[in-house]
Structure formats: C-alpha cells, structure tokens
Structure 1
Amino acid sequence: MSNASLPTRLGRTLRQDVQDMHAYVVQGAAGLVKLDAMENPHTLSPELQAELGRRLGAVAINRYPGERIDTLKAALAAHAGLPEGWSLMLGNGSDELISLLALACDRPGASVLAPLPGFVMYAMSAQLQGLRFVGVPLTPDFELDAEAMLAAIAEHRPAITYIAYPNNPTANLFDDATITRIVDAVAAQDGLVVIDEAYQPFAARSWLGRAGAHDHVLVMRTLSKFGLAGIRLGYLCGPAALIGELDKVRPPYNVSVLNAEAALFALDHADVYAAQAAAIRDERQRLLAALAAMPGVRRVWPSEANMILIRVADSAATFAALKAAGVLIKNVAGLHPLLANCLRLTVGTADENRQMIDALRSSR
C-alpha cells in the first residue's frame, strides 16, 4: 500500500503501482520454532562446518567472480543430469531468474500465465516489468484445470507459462498428461513453459528428463531446498541456444564467489544433503499420518515437497495459538479463496515436528 509518510514530491517520482503494492513480508521468527519458510532444518557437522570455513577463507574476495563460476555451472549440470544440448544460467535465487525471464520477454502486449494459488513471484515479477499476469484457478482439489488453462493460453498467448512441480503452497505434483497438453498448447503459440522444480529433492518425479524433447521448455531449480537457502542460488536449465539468449539480460557477477564456493562445497558433499532430504521425506510421512488422525484438522493434502497444506476450522486462531506456543507456521488463507482456512506447515526435524503437533493438539 502507499506509504502515508512519503513526501508528496517523491510520490510523484515513484511508480504508482509500486506504491500501491504490498512488499514481500518475512515473518519475524526470533525465539520460535521456525516452520514457515520450507527451509532445510538440518545443520552441518562441526567437521563439515570447519571444512566449509577453510574453503570460504581461501576465496579471493578481492577479485570479481571468474572461472570458479564456470566450474559451478559444470558441477550443477552434472548433478542435475542435463539433457544433451542443454546448458544453464545462474541466478541470485530463483527470484532473480523469474525477474530476468520477465525482462527478456517484455515485448508489447506480452503476458505471463500461471495457475493459482501459486508462487507469488510469478505475478510480482510480471507486474514490476509491466507485463500482464493471467492467473488460472486450480480445481478445489488443487489440480490443474486443464480446459481453463488451455482456453487461457489460446486467448492470451502468454510469453511465459509457469508450472510449479510440486506447487507452492499446495505441495502437490500436477498430472503429467495435463502438463503435456499445456506444453504442446504453448508451443503452438510460440511461448515458453517454465517448469519450476524448487522442491525437487522431495518429489517422486521430475520433468527434466522429458523436457529435453522440447525447444521451448525450461526447468528451474534452486539450492534453497537442497539445504542452502542462505546463499541464494538458483539455476535455469534449457536448450543451449535459448539459455544463451536469456543469459544476455543477466547482470554481470550476479553470483558471488562466496556463494559459488559454498555451492561447490555442498555438491562435493551431495550425499550428506541427500541423507538430509531423505530424513525430511520420512518425517513428512509421519507428519501426514499424525495430521490425518487429528480431529481438529479438517483436511490434509498429499505432499511431494517439504511442506504440508492443511485446512482447519479457523486458520487465524490456530496460527495465533501455535505462535503463542512458540511454533511459527504460515497462514496462507488470505492468498487465494481456494485456500480458505488453510495453513502451510514446513517439515522440520523430528523434535520440531513433535512440538508443532503438540501445539496443534492444544489449539483445539
């Protein structure tokens, strides 16, 4: 919303739509069990912390990022298993990549399309770049509405169509046959499809292997859910020719040498992070079972991510009760009408999840 304290003369300078919009708000979490942001709750052993410290201490921070960035790109390509003829570009988190895609596709009349509810940055990046955003509601069960999506694609001919796989905040994988129909429909309109696989470490399936058959499909991933939310590193994979064009709008040196080295360290110890992801998946199953048996929870949706969506009688009251008990979750009820009285719960450690379940039981 507009800032009432902004001097009038400055209000005439700043864009009105920027003054009218809401900023992305991060909840304060001091003193709370933090289960609101889909972070990996596991820390490194003292030995690995020391190794990381030595590697970061040896980085030439007096120099701009150079060849080490190319080393990271090659390591990520090998880790992801890129299709033949594909390459990738790096971003300061997926957020920057989403903004760069909007910038690269900002032609007169261009639009961005995505299912709703979904990741808020798809719409925000479109608005800030001056593109139209078209949101297509999911079904009440949070599945893609195939006919509505196809009709919207035919009508609006979007430059970019986002499919989050799994989706945020609903945590489900959409039907692959429906996605294929959408991919084909977008191809007929000369647009791009971006499959956002931010939660891939926790999902049963990936689109990366089948995406290689298309010259208009990009797959976006991040190391945030891998276990490195603090370093802000995302990567966009796609046909080399397409990535080469998109990479032209990327700011030089957008990934720091410290972030690159931390990412390389993590890939060198990918087995440690894979074990953490496995532990989170196991905890997710225990949480799903506990929530399904809880009388105060009206519905629990299946999850292929490190979060679980539930519906309760009064999401605001339940959120407040959990916060008072020292557990911070996310009340997503206000994001979309389909999310009425819904809460999003991050899967934490066994102890954190126990505290969350205890707080939920006490909130009834």
Structure 2
Amino acid sequence: MTSLSDLPLRDNLVGQQPYGAPQDPVPVSLNVNENTHPIPDEVVEDIVQSLARAVRGVNRYPDREFLELRESLAGYLGHGLTAEQLWAANGSNEVLQQILQAFGGPGRSLLSFSPTYSMYPLLAAGTDTAWIDVPRPADYVLTPELVTAAIAEHAPDIVILCGPNNPTGTVLDREVIRAASEASAGIVIVDEAYQEFDAETESAVALLPGRPRLLVSRTMSKAFAFAGVRLGYLAADAAVVDALRLVRLPYHLSALTQAAATAALRHSGAMLGAVAEIRSERDRLDAALTELGYQVHPSGSNFLLVGGFADPAATFEALRAQGILIRNLSIPGHLRITAGTREETSAVIDAIAALGPGGARA
C-alpha cells in the first residue's frame, strides 16, 4: 500500500501532520471550544424555512458575491462598515487561507506568537509561506514592546494576533494591535474567533478606519453556536476584499450556507443569548479548579487553560475513560477545558476533583 512518503509532496509538507482534535461521541465533549448550548427553537424554525426556500433554487449557482449575507454581517458588526468591507468563507480557517494565498506564498512569511492556534503554521505550510514562531512570555500576555521588537527583527509579510488567544484565553490589548499596525509594512490580522465571549474588550473592528492593512477575522462557529454550518468572515478595507476575490474558488459559499447564516444573523440577540451563561460557567470552572490547587490562566474566551497537572496525558485519558473529552495540546503541565452547560461543567469539576492532586488518581 502506498504511504505518504512514497508521494512527491512539496518539501515543506514532508513530515507534516494534518490538523485533528480527537473526535469521540462521549457524553461530555469539551475539547474543541464549541458552544454547547443549542440554537433556540424559534431561530431553528426560521433557518429551516430559509433553507427550504434556498433548496428550490439550487439547480442554479448561488450568488457568487453573497451580497445579502455581507450586508447582514456588516449590520451585525456595526462601526459604519459596509458590505464592500466584509468577506466570508467556509469557516475562518478558509478566510485565513485566502489571506495567505493573496498576501503570503513563496518568499513571504507569517509571524505569530506561540502558544497560539495550531492551524496557523499548517496554513502557512499549505500556502508555502515561511512560518516565524515567536514565544510568548510566561504569562502569555503580549505587549506593544514585544510585538514591535519581533516585527522589527523578522520583518514578516503577515502578522497574526489571536485575541482572545487560543489556547491560552489571553485577552489582546488594543495598544498591541495599534503597535503592530504601526510597526508592520505588511498585513496585520486580528483573529477574533472568540471575541463575543470577552465582555471587557472592544473589537478590533473599531481600529479599522485609517488602517488599510489591518484585517479582523471572525467566525459564527463559537458564540453563534454555528460550528457545523462553517461560516467565517472578515472585516477589512474594501481593497483587501477585492484581493481575496482574486484567490477564492468560484461560488465558494453554497446557497444553503448563505441562507442559514443570513437567517441566523436576523436573530443575533437570541443566538448570543447563551454567551453570558457560558461566561458564568467558565468563571465557576475557574473558581473550582483554583480551589483544587490548579493554575488557571485568565481567559476572555469560552475555555480555560489550566496548569498544575502532574501528567496531562494520563489525566486526559482518565477523563476520556469517564466519557469526558477535553484537550491535551502538549503544553507541559497544562490541559484546555471548554466551558459547557452547567451539567457538563459540574461533571468535569467532579471528575478532576476525584482524580486527586495534580490529576493523579488518589
């Protein structure tokens, strides 16, 4: 049987592993930062009706420019944005891939600060963009001075800042974004996949005026509980959107995706109704694990990075055996846990407590 090593892969893909969080139909799934709360019934009804209408026209290609959806996204974000400043694709990963296709590639580079979202180096490799990995400080918090120094040293073509950062939950200060935008001659992306869970920090969308090379990536997968629909989007200067239209595949957003997302945005208040409850469960999980002696890093997201596990892999497997799936990201001593429903949060707290200090069985 042929293996990967037998194929003429590009050199920069040799030895790479595809992205993949564990998938397991367990009762308590808290490993990929999904919104664990279901979509309200009245919203489901509207989405289903919208899909039914869309299906009647799927013998034709969808609107290639998905203008109704872009207008809805602009209305949701506010800040005076217009449809011409919005873009969307099949998840924010595809949005980021299109950015790298347009502004990265051979001879160009992408810089970010680790630990951060594990897809960034994979997207860089897939577009033959050099990956520059700058370590975060011990508390994971970026400062204007750190970011400015890294940009000056490496002169990257693209910088990506994740805020709140995955997997640490660290909030991204607006002064860091301003510093990166001023220091960089290239593209600066702010990845705001978890922005709606941060009750304190204003979106980087507010910084777009006067910064034509600043891009803000968002998703409907998390706070909107729309992970299965696959809808990511971008707010940026209209010229950036034109650049992405050069690399997107024709008709890349299906009529069904457009209909579902547009309907969901009509009910943004209801769709985001669980966000406050998820924050509350995150804070309850934080307090409980802190009381058990673990180091819980501050988070503006729907998950926590938790340190103090003597053997994270063993703890991960012990919880999995009990039907609880969290995330081992190979950060020494740490595991990442998504805040779930009250019942799910209670289950993971009780299970970790039962394992004893450091996650080892008592």
TM-score after normalising by structure 1: 0.90
Query: Which sits farther off after the overlay, 202-211 or 39-48?
Result: 39-48
How far apart, CA to CA, are the structure 2 residues paired with 1:359 and 1:164? 31
Q: Would you say how many aligned residue pairs link Structure 1 and Structure 2?
A: 349
Aligned equivalents of 1:139, 1:124: Cα separation in 2: 23
The partner residue of 2:211 within 201, 214, 217 is 214
Structure 2 counterpart SS, 1:227: coil
Three-state SS of the structure 2 residue aligned to 1:228 is coil
- Work out whether residues 167 and 336 of structure 2, in 8 Å CA contact, stay in contact via their aligned partners in 1: yes
Aligned to 1:320: 317
Distance 1:329 1:18 in 2: 28
Of 97, 110, 128 in structure 2, the residue corresponding to residue 130 of structure 1 is 128
Matches within 5 A, 1:144-293: 144=142, 146-186=144-184, 190-203=185-198, 204-205=200-201, 206-225=203-222, 226-293=224-291
Q: Who is 1:357 aligned against?
A: 349
Give the secondary structure class of the aligned counterpart of 2:172: coil
Q: 2:110 aligns with which of 100, 109, 112?
A: 112
Q: Deviations over 1:230-284 (max 9, x none)?
A: 0111111111122212222111211111111111121111121221112111212
1:332-355: CA deviations, max 9, x gaps? 1x2xxxx31111101110111111
Q: What are the superposed Cα offsets for residues 131-156 of structure 1, whole Å, 9 maximum, x if unpaired?
A: 11101100010112554433331232
Moved more, 169-178 or 92-101: 169-178
Match of 1:302 among 273, 280, 298: 298
In 2, distance between residues paired with 1:53 and 1:83?
30
User: Are the counterparts in 1 of residues 187 and 214 from structure 2 also a CA contact under 8 Å?
Assistant: yes
Q: What is the deviation of 1:67?
A: 7.4
Question: After superposition, where does 1:37-52 map in structure 2 within 5 Å?
Answer: 37-52=32-47
Q: Which amino acid aligns with 1:260?
A: Q
Instruction: After TM superposition, give the deviation of residue 322 of structure 1 in Å.
Output: 1.1
Aligned with 2:2 (options 2, 6, 10):
6
> How far apart in 2 are the matches of 1:182 and 1:51?
42
Q: Gapped runs of 5+ residues in structure 2?
A: 357-362
% of aligned pairs identical? Answer: 36
| Residue number in structure 1 paired with 2:99 | 101
CA distance in 2, matches of 1:136, 1:14: 27
Deviation at 1:306, TM superposition (A): 0.6
Decide which of 11, 21, 25 is 2:20's aligned counterpart: 25
Counterpart of 2:49, as a letter, is R
Shift of 1:61: 2.0
* Equivalent position of 2:72 in the other structure: 75
Q: Secondary structure at the match of 2:24?
A: coil
1:312-338 deviation per Cα after TM superposition (whole angstroms, max 9, x unaligned): 222112111111111100011x2xxxx
Report the AA paired with residue 132 of structure 2: V
- After superposition, the CA RMSD in angstroms is 2.0
**1:7 Cα deviation after fit:** 5.6
Superposed CA deviations along residues 296-317 of structure 1, whole A, max 9, x for unmatched, are x2x0011100111101222112
Q: Hey, which of these two has a bigger chunk of helix by percent?
A: 1
Q: Deviations over 1:30-71 (max 9, x none)?
A: 133110011111113444434332221221222211179211
- Asked whether the equivalents of residues 331 and 342 of structure 1 are also in contact (C-alpha less than 8 Å), the reply is yes
Contact 1:33 1:352 in 2 (8 A): yes
C-alpha separation in 2, matches of 1:293 and 1:104: 48
Q: Is the 8 A contact 2:72 2:262 kept in 1?
A: yes
Q: Indicate how the Cα distance of structure 1 residues 198 and 347 shifts in structure 2: closer, same or farther if over 3 A, else same.
A: same
* Pick aligned residue for 1:329 from 322, 326, 331: 326
Residue 48 of structure 2 corresponds to residue 56 of structure 1: no
Three-state SS of the structure 2 residue aligned to 1:58 is helix
Give the equivalent residue in structure 2 for 1:88: 86
> Which residue identity does 2:310 align to in structure 1?
A
Hey, what's the Cα distance between the residues in 1 that align with 2:310 and 2:282? 22
Amino acid of the residue matched to residue 335 of structure 2? L
The amino acid of 1:352's aligned partner reads: E
CA positional deviation for 1:115? 0.6
- Aligned partners of 1:114 and 1:135 also within 8 Å: yes
Where structure 1 has 5 or more consecutive residues not aligned to the other structure, the ranges are none
Q: Deviations over 1:81-108 (max 9, x none)?
A: 1445761111111111111111111365
Larger deviation, residues 236-245 vs 322-331? 236-245
Counterpart check, 1:344 vs 2:344: no
Distance 1:103 1:7 in 2: 28
